[in-house]
Amino acid sequence: MSLERHYRPQGGANFPMNTPIKIKIDVTKIDKSALFKGAKGTYLDALLWPTPDSQYGDDYRITQDLPKERRDAGDKGAILGNARCLQAQGGGQRQAPPPNRPLPTRPEPAAAQADDETLPF
């Protein structure tokens, strides 16, 4: 499979490959047992899944990727968050959803005080 120079996220516009993608991850959902040590740090494998019909206007869902042994055993990675393309082709702002689709509302997360004990790493 070859990489395409453009992709088509939410809203149907072609986005150049250098378009920024904003991600939001709920770190409390990370399975720490699947983190692994590398030469320069501790790493998490994650996957972006296209979500063309997202009711919230997101372009991708982010899931934690698990080692092959766990996937073969039937385990699935947790949904960690979502991602959204920020700019349209030509540097403009992201296009609005088609008119037949109502603008979604996303509940704001409650402000929680995070201390070192609640973070998974």
pTM value is 0.60
The answer, yes or no, to whether residue 37 has pLDDT greater than 80, is yes
Mean pLDDT score, 46-72:
92
- Model confidence at 6, pLDDT cuts 50, 70, 90, reads very low
Q: Which two tokens stand for residue 81?
A: 């968050």
77-119 per-position pLDDT tens digit: 999 999 998 875 444 445 544 555 555 666 655 544 445 566 6
> What's the CA gap between 6 and 83, in Å, rounded?
17
Question: 101, 10, 113: which is closest to 60 by C-alpha?
Answer: 10
Q: Which two tokens stand for residue 32?
A: 């720490």
62-76 per-position pLDDT tens digit: 999 999 999 999 999
Arithmetic mean of pLDDT over the chain: 76
| pLDDT for position 107 | 64
| pLDDT for position 89 | 42
